[in-house]
Amino acid sequence: MVKQLRSSRNVLRRMPAIALALSMSFAAVSPVAAQSLTDRFKSLFGGKSDEPAPPKPAPAPGQPAEDDLDCPQVTVRAGASTYAVGAAGKPAVGNEIRFQASITKMARECSRSSVGITARIGIQGRVIAGPAGAPATVEVPLRVAVVQGGVGEKVIASKAYRTTVEMSEGGSVPFTFIVEDLAYPTPSAASADSYVFYVGFDPQALSPEPKARKKK
């Protein structure tokens, strides 16, 4: 009986230490690591992580399930990760920089459509005012493309976009842009792994589109 009482007291004494160890182990788990892919997409695309995801439509006859759909990785195109604009008639270097934009985060998801595959590409970035002073609003030119990599790189689809960013007195403003309409034919099983989404800044997206010639 005495031994049982001593054993019970020892267990009670160890309980606070065990509880402390467990709390420390849970605290060591990074919130980012614990965040699911669905939560990250909802956070990026403006949804709430605690909202239930909408049910996916049933696949068409002869088509694989949505979970089997290959969605290429998204990355920033080399040389297109930043976009700087200088003062009128001057290069965007040093004290002549009016503002500079950069891409900080990306995400993507794919779904089947009548065309084949339609991708949603989320882009987050930041515009920072330069020494020459940024305007009140900034036009940010973007381009998103799906490319089949390999020895001879092949552009499957490419679209240019613009988004307007209103600058603040602090001179550092985040922006978010979501591409909803990038569609391309479903790749074959052999080539699907070589597909990639490229995003980046494209100053040509700010150029006005050429007017169609009138027929006589």
The tens digit of pLDDT for each residue in 29-40 reads 333 333 444 454
> Does 24 reside within a domain?
no
- Phi-psi domain of 74 (left: phi exceeds 0; alpha: psi -120 through 50; beta: other): beta
> Does 9 reside within a domain?
no
DSSP string, 96-130: GEEEEEEEEEEEEEEEE-SSSEEEEEEEEEEEEE-
> Does 58 reside within a domain?
no
Q: What is the pLDDT of residue 31?
A: 36
> Does 119 reside within a domain?
yes
Q: Whose CA is closest to 178, among 131, 77, 109, 112?
A: 109
> Does 26 reside within a domain?
no
Q: What is the pLDDT of residue 64?
A: 46
Q: What is the pLDDT of residue 113?
A: 86
Structural domain containing residue 82: 37-51+65-206
Total number of domains constituting the chain: 1
> Does 151 reside within a domain?
yes
Stretch 117-138: mean pLDDT, rounded?
A: 94
> Quick count: other Cβ atoms within 10 Å of Cβ 55?
6
Q: What is the mean pLDDT of the chain?
A: 76
> Quick count: other Cβ atoms within 10 Å of Cβ 150?
9
Question: Each residue of 172-199: pLDDT tens digit?
Answer: 999 999 999 999 999 999 999 999 999 9
> Does 162 reside within a domain?
yes
What confidence category does residue 152 fall into, taking pLDDT thresholds of 50, 70 and 90? confident
* Complete edge-to-edge strand list for the sheet that includes strand 117-129: 82-86, 97-112, 117-129, 172-184
> Does 153 reside within a domain?
yes
